Structure 1
Amino acid sequence: MTQDPISNKKSSNMTGRYLNPHRHNKERSKSFDHQNLLRNRSQSIDKASLWKGALVKELDNNVVVQMVGMDSPNHTVYARVDPNCAATAECLKSVPLGKVIEVMVDEGWRHAVKDILEKGVHVENETYPSANELLKLGSVWLVNETGYCTDHNAKARRLSESDEMDTPDWKDMTLRVHYVPERFFVAYEIDWSKYCKGLLLDGCTSAYIGGVKQHVPMTGLPDKKDGALVYENDEIGFALLNKPGGMPTNSTKTNHAEDVASMYGAALKERHGDKSTKHISIPLRAETEMNGLLLVSTKREFCSYMHEQLDAARGNDLVAENCGVAKTYKCLVCIKHPSDIDRIEKLMNRDLTHWVNVKSACPKTFTRTKPTNPKLGDWQKCVMRITSIGDEKFRAACVSSKYNDSNDYTLAHRLWDPRMEMPAEELGVSYVMQVDVQLLTTKPHQIRGQLAALGCPIVGDVAYGGGSCVMRMHHHMWQRMAVQLCHLEFNMPEWNEDKTALVPTDKKCTFHLNTAWWTEYLNDYERVFRWGKGISGELAMQQCRHGKNMLK
């Protein structure tokens, strides 16, 4: 079983007297009222109002810890040492912030905080970390109380494990603790210091620099876990990774440890020690649920170079084609009716244009024509091109249960939540089809929103109508989408004469993934369909023409 290196559970032996531990239900709405005032941003509140109705716990030496819960998706609790308690000034100055965090995770007090935050939603046990784990995850922030009362977005400092014994000035400092942080356990399924196995399998994964195929160094061969590396270049300062779906590229507000930048940065530090690069950034956007090729910058100069390449044609809509950066995505999309397959096929190799309101919330609004009223939002042009449909064997695969075919039923349950009785029917989906899409512009949610606007949302894209695709492993679960960056190409840079900046060359960097996480599912489906029933490929083609399985 894969172990979470963050976790190191310890029972808390804190002593203390609880004060009115059952009053929180009555006072809860009061504490939420002042949070709503803060959200309004046009109002400010005084410190007394901030802590009105707070839950309290008395520690040794008359030290009192106050807690107030915020009704938010981030499961936030604010905690501090009450500066007006009966403790002496010397005692107040000696209370470390780690002690205050422990109050919330102490087994005897946790029920109160849990009741503040939870709303009947299932949360895994591992997402109740100890005080030390919360600091390791980066789930604790130090906030200036005066600034916070004036501005809800006042700057806060993320704390780390090394800050556990710090003693802040509790007269004006407050802890913001994300008691149930987001967890991304898939991060531990990958060896971030090794190369991916696909490089060793002919045709699965490839890396070419200037037309020359790159080979895996012996020291980078994967062992028990699959590796993340596709290519590394320490001199220029970049790496290509095979990102798993279900983890963010950068840290979130509640988790600063289980993202791509942090995991890869930790692997570099372990490999090189203190000489490791201090710079890790992600030049090209990739959403949490997406998987596939991911470009990582390990030097600021390379990050600047890539941004210059992408900005080279900022005034031109077709950014990718004008700056030498080409990106192709492999997607598995939902098809509601067989006629949609022919309709999508007719759109191949055409520039497909939509307009997106980039300031709208998710799901973002995509339209065929640009709204004429500028007050309706910030509308930007999106252009993509469908370059192929179907995989090597299938045009599309049936996932409907109406044909009473266990093969269709099995594929549907492997793609979506297996606990759903008829997942395809619940989504109104009859088939799934693989498409390759080239992005000619780079806008937020572009590939997701444009495919959904064409009537074929991506499998697993809950926001845009593709249903929930749940991955379960080692007692954990995470969401993933059937979309991956499968092809990336850009000009290899070189250092200028004074080694201060990178400039482009004619040499091309080309990286390719030929398989996706759903490829195995489609291969199994095709194998059963063709041979499990003892039918020939020719007969399968005849059945295809009658409208069931859309084999090529």
Structure 2
Amino acid sequence: MQVIYEDNHIIVVAKRSGEIVQGDKSGDRPLTEDVKAYLKEKYAKPGLVFLGVVHRLDRPVSGLVVFARTSKALSRLNEMFRNGSIHKTYWALVQTPPPAEEGELIHWLTRNERQNKSYAYRNEVPGSKKAVLRYRVIGQTDRYTLLEIQLLTGRHHQIRCQLAAMGCPIRGDLKYGAPRSTPDGSISLLARRIEFVHPVSKEIIRLEAPLPEDSLWQALK
């Protein structure tokens, strides 16, 4: 576990692909338990350690995850995520270049709970929610294109689903149409940056996640 930022009210860590943020039916140890253990040992805290989850990343995705260390920070961060005042920037590697160097994608997404998958439609359909993101090309290798993505809404699997609907599934994302998996089972989607006003001190916090150890990501340096 890599701690990117820490103070009395929040802690931000770099999640690795394959980790789960909260416990699920897999029974695997979640990131929350690792963070609690870290805080308990570092500060010699007796009893239970408070840690509030304010957002999550899909299991195969890597990057920045923010946790609250106090109830005050938790309630304020929850409201900030709801009103869109926390700005997240993602990086994604796709094999098929997008039709334009930059653009805005607007779809209506439905979610299939049983499949744990979202479906994109051009027009509103029953049970759908509007999804909007902006992308731009920021890098290229001989086989892949690197996109920087700004989320304007927060829907289930939104980036994965919308890029696939554009014809550009994320590298390794078999669920959304990638032709093959990656050696470690990850998908090449990274929560690269986050910017927000601190819920207590009100200072501006700008943080960046390290690139995954995958050789293709490292080549982008």
TM-score with structure 2 setting the length: 0.89
Q: Distance in 2 between matches of 1:334 and 1:304?
A: 40
CA displacement, residues 208-242 of structure 1 (integer Å, 9 cap, x when unaligned): xxxxxxxxxxxxxxxxxxxx1111011xx211111
The aligned counterpart of 2:216 is 521
Whether 2:53 is the aligned partner of 1:282: answer yes
Q: Is the 8 A contact 1:390 1:396 kept in 2?
A: no
> For residues 329 and 524 of structure 1, do their structure 2 counterparts lie closer, same or farther at Cα, with a shift above 3 Å needed?
closer
1:454 aligns with 2:166: yes
SS at match of 2:66: strand
- Which residue of structure 1 aligns with residue 88 of structure 2? 327
| Structure 1 Cα separation of the partners of residues 219 and 49 of structure 2 | 44
Quote the Cα distance in structure 2 between the aligned partners of 1:441 and 1:453. 16
The alpha-carbon distance between structure 1 residues 508 and 277, as it changes in their structure 2 partners (threshold 3 A), is farther
Give structure 1 stretches of 5+ with no counterpart. 1-191, 193-227, 313-319, 399-431, 472-478, 496-504, 527-552
- Sort the Cα spacing of 1:488 and 1:522 in 2 relative to 1 into closer, same or farther, 3 A: closer
- In structure 2, relative to structure 1, the CA distance for the partners of 1:275 and 1:332 (3 Å cut) is same
Residue equivalent to 2:176: 464
2:134 corresponds in structure 1 to 385
Which of 487, 491, 503 is 2:193 aligned to?
487
Deviation at residue 365 of structure 1 after TM alignment: 1.0
1:232 counterpart residue number: 6
Could you tell me how far 1:308 is from its partner in structure 2?
Answer: 1.0
**More helix by percentage:** 1
Q: Which amino acid aligns with 1:271?
A: K
CA gap 1:308/1:525 in 2 versus in 1, 3 angstroms: closer
In structure 2, the residue matched to 1:300 is 71
Aligned-residue offset at 1:368: 1.5
Deviation at 1:446, TM superposition (A): 0.4
Letter in 1 for 2:74: C
Check conservation: 1:277, 1:298, Cα contact below 8 A: no
The AA in structure 1 aligned to 2:142 is A
Aligned counterparts of 1:245 and 1:521: Cα–Cα separation in 2? 15
C-alpha distance in 1, partners of 2:147/2:188?
A: 11
1:351 aligned residue: 104
Which residue in 2 is equivalent to 1:248?
Answer: 20
Deviations 1:13-62 (A, max 9, x none): xxxxxxxxxxxxxxxxxxxxxxxxxxxxxxxxxxxxxxxxxxxxxxxxxx
Structure with the largest fraction of strand: 2
Letter in 1 for 2:193: H
Aligned pair in 2 of structure 1 residues 304, 396: CA closer, same or farther (>3 Å)? Answer: same
Q: Which has the higher contact order (CA 8 A, sep 6+)?
A: 2
Whether 1:310 and 2:66 are equivalent positions in the alignment is: no
CA shift at 1:267, angstroms? Answer: 1.5
The code of the aligned residue for 2:183 comes to V
CA contact (8 A) 2:77 2:199 kept: no
Number of aligned positions between the proteins: 219
Q: Where does residue 69 of structure 1 map in the other structure?
A: none
Instruction: Identify unmatched segments of 5+ residues in structure 2.
Output: none
Q: Matched residues in 1 for 2:61 and 2:41: separation?
A: 27
Structure 2 counterpart of 1:438, one-letter code: Q
Rg bigger for which structure? 1
Conservation of the 8 A alpha-carbon contact between 1:492 and 1:509: yes
What is the correspondence of 1:85-484 to structure 2 with a 5 Å cutoff? 192=1, 228-234=2-8, 237-255=9-27, 258-275=29-46, 278-312=49-83, 320=84, 324-335=85-96, 340-341=97-98, 343-345=99-101, 348=102, 350-360=103-113, 361-371=115-125, 374=126, 378-386=127-135, 388-391=136-139, 395-398=140-143, 432-466=144-178, 467-471=180-184, 479-484=185-190
1:229 partner letter = V
Match of 1:511 in 2: 207
Percent identity over paired residues? 24
Deviation of the 1:280 alpha carbon? 1.7
Q: What displacement does 1:523 show?
A: 5.9
Pick which of 275-284 and 434-443 moved more.
Answer: 275-284
Work out whether residues 329 and 485 of structure 1, in 8 Å CA contact, stay in contact via their aligned partners in 2.
yes
1:405-432, Cα deviation, whole Å (9 max, x unpaired): xxxxxxxxxxxxxxxxxxxxxxxxxxx2
Alignment of 1:12-31 (within 5 A): none
TM-score (norm 1): 0.37
C-alpha deviations, 1:298-341, integer Å up to 9, x for none?
222211111111223xxxxxxx3xxx211110111121xxxx44
Q: Assess if the C-alpha contact under 8 Å between 1:249 and 1:259 holds in 2.
A: yes
Secondary structure at 1:275 match in 2 = coil
Deviation digits for residues 192-222 of structure 1, max 9, x if unmatched?
4xxxxxxxxxxxxxxxxxxxxxxxxxxxxxx
For residues 266 and 245 of structure 1, the distance between their equivalents in structure 2, rounded to whole angstroms, comes to: 20
